[in-house]
Structure 1
Amino acid sequence: MYKNIERIIQRHSNFTKLSMAFFYAICVSIAMNFFWQPGHIYSSGITGAAQLVASLIEKTGMPLTTPVLYFVFNIPLFIVAWFKIGHRFTIFTFYAVIFSTVMMHLIPPVRVHFDPIICAIFGGLINGMGTGMALKNNISTGGLDIIGIVLRKKTGKSVGSINIAFNLLIIFGAGFVFGWVHALYSAMGIFINGAVIDAVYTSHQRLQVMIVTDQPKEVINCVQKSLRRGITIVHDAEGAFKHEEKTILFTIISRYEMHDFEEAIHLSDPYAFVSITEVFKLMGHFYEPKVE
């Protein structure tokens, strides 16, 4: 019975990941063919590098389009992901790249020329949404997402920030090929893309939680049952209003766990005082679920 349940859960997980891979493929294809290509805007990461190289060799007549180069550039990154991140992660990333390559060819580019600023804004929004949703479901869109995840494990930097840092060369390439005005528009689009990724993909964002409670055992049990988090206990605290004995609890959670944490507090001690602040830097061990 339990094996049947596990199989059902696994199938549902696989279907969700494939759906997100296809969702990303639709997003990047719309961003590419509706906004980036017509507006001469470069994307971030490997997609932008593929655009840049395709633009440089376009006049030679070589049959190397942006989708083809996008797939070719991702091949070495599949190897990195296979050994550094996880096998299932790499397999579904491969699906995302294949779907994207095919959809970029199938979705026809629009003939209407939008304002380059509109192209930069909407291209970044749509692609960032697709990338963030893919990462949120533990799959990658290829390219710098893989590098970002690997480096995030070592440095703690956000995926969007790493993505932006790697794209300076893309911006300079856009300046040399299409002019520095379009380089500025590309930089705007890359920034928006990274900001939307960080807004959607919240599991890397850390929050410090301080809980003041008179029911510490119930709170600790409920929080640790819902979340795999260590908790630091400060005994013998005193409330200044009624001079009642309190206990202060400290822990670190990810923003993605906020809903589960709030439910745990509501069940264990709805009258607890809770303060939540963003963490600027985190040193020491912080448990992250393994990406498979």
Structure 2
Amino acid sequence: MFVGSAFVSVGLEIFLVPNNIIDGGIVGISIILSHLSKLPLGIFLVLLNLPFLIIGYKQIGKTFALSTLFSVIVMSIGTTLLHPVPPLTIDPLLAAVFGGIIVGVGVGLVIRSGGSLDGTEIVAIVCNKKSPFSVGEIVMFFNLFILGSAGFVFGWDHAMYSLIAYYIAFKLIDVVLEGLDQSKSVWIISENNQSLGDAIVNRLGRGITYLHGEGGFGGNKRVIFCVITRLEEAKLKAIVEEIDPFAFLAIGNIHDVKGGRFKKKDIH
């Protein structure tokens, strides 16, 4: 959490803030208020997050709230210490790209450690329990409003750079949370299911499960189910193409895998 919060501080003060580029959530609101009031960014990061931390303490749990408080304080101190440091670039596009990367990695590390850096996420979790919208949809609504506000404060060019930084940070958070070897679920329907199953076991080193399926147009089907990593996807497709080019193949992302014989490090 400390390293992640420090990363976010660097991304903000060395790249985004000096170029009038904001991030989403409370951080984005804090950057706007700091610009308008000329007060230090760290003050707003703490003050604006406090009400949401209280909500998080009551609704989510003590450990999460304290972890988030620690992360926010480290981030606030970091932005204060780094404020006098000159930016590495004054090119807004470079600032948006590299600032987004560093902020995304930092936020991902904090979330992976059980904390948070943004009060809007806490609100989204609480609202999710009482609304039909997902946490991601609620956070996206908040952030679109905040990023749109940047257009009136910094100009629409900077608002669009902010959107680039936010998107890059969003994708990097996923990479940190799920890793480059993100798990994928695979369903295969083939007339040569036995040959395909044997090939996946012997050549890919993955366990498989045969499922019974009933076709909508009649006839029983034998479905092969297995879990692979992202790095094994190309090899699996090559195996299917080689044995049965007409097989039905469906591949989907999985957030997490536990139990069984699956190990992400078993990459051949």
Normalized against structure 1, the TM-score is what? 0.61
2:28 partner letter? G
Flag structure 1 segments of 5+ consecutive residues without an equivalent: 1-20, 59-63, 224-230, 238-244, 260-272, 281-286
Find out whether 1:84 has 2:84 as its counterpart. no
1:210 to 184, 187, 198: 187
- Secondary structure of 1:166's aligned partner: helix
Residue of structure 2 equivalent to 1:134: 110
User: 1:199/1:166 Cα in 2 relative to 1: closer, same or farther (>3 Å)?
Assistant: farther
CA deviation vs aligned residue, 1:58-77 (integer Å, no higher than 9, x gap): 3xxxxx42111111111121
Question: In structure 2, what is the Cα distance between the partners aligned to 1:89 and 1:208?
Answer: 31
Contact 1:164 1:191 in 2 (8 A): no
CA apart distance, 1:36: 1.3
Find out whether 1:30 has 2:5 as its counterpart. no
Question: In structure 2, what is the Cα distance between the partners aligned to 1:124 and 1:66?
Answer: 18
Residue of structure 1 equivalent to 2:144: 168
CA deviation vs aligned residue, 1:43-63 (integer Å, no higher than 9, x gap): 1110110111122223xxxxx
- Secondary structure of 1:83's aligned partner: helix
Aligned positions of 1:2-151 closer than 5 A: 21-58=1-38, 64-112=39-87, 113-150=89-126
CA apart distance, 1:250: 5.9
- Secondary structure of 1:234's aligned partner: strand
Contact 2:23 2:147 in 1 (8 A): no
Moved more, 145-154 or 106-115: 145-154
Question: In structure 2, what is the Cα distance between the partners aligned to 1:277 and 1:151?
Answer: 32
Find out whether 1:277 has 2:251 as its counterpart. yes
- Secondary structure of 1:32's aligned partner: helix
1:174 partner letter? A
CA apart distance, 1:246: 9.2
2:112 partner letter? K
1:88 partner letter? T
CA apart distance, 1:129: 0.8
Residue of structure 1 equivalent to 2:166: 190
- Secondary structure of 2:86's aligned partner: coil
User: 1:191/1:135 Cα in 2 relative to 1: closer, same or farther (>3 Å)?
Assistant: same
- Secondary structure of 1:71's aligned partner: helix
CA apart distance, 1:176: 1.4
CA apart distance, 1:145: 3.1
Give the alignment's Cα RMSD to 1 decimal. Answer: 4.3
User: 1:134/1:151 Cα in 2 relative to 1: closer, same or farther (>3 Å)?
Assistant: farther
Percent sequence identity is: 30
Find out whether 1:234 has 2:209 as its counterpart. no
Contact 1:96 1:142 in 2 (8 A): no
User: 1:172/1:39 Cα in 2 relative to 1: closer, same or farther (>3 Å)?
Assistant: same
Question: In structure 1, what is the Cα distance between the partners aligned to 2:54 and 2:64?
Answer: 12
Question: In structure 2, what is the Cα distance between the partners aligned to 1:176 and 1:45?
Answer: 17
User: 1:33/1:172 Cα in 2 relative to 1: closer, same or farther (>3 Å)?
Assistant: same
Contact 1:136 1:202 in 2 (8 A): no
Across the two proteins, how many residue pairs are aligned to each other?
226
1:132 partner letter? G
User: 1:34/1:26 Cα in 2 relative to 1: closer, same or farther (>3 Å)?
Assistant: same
- Secondary structure of 1:277's aligned partner: strand
- Secondary structure of 1:110's aligned partner: coil
2:212 partner letter? V
Question: In structure 2, what is the Cα distance between the partners aligned to 1:198 and 1:155?
Answer: 23
Contact 2:105 2:173 in 1 (8 A): yes
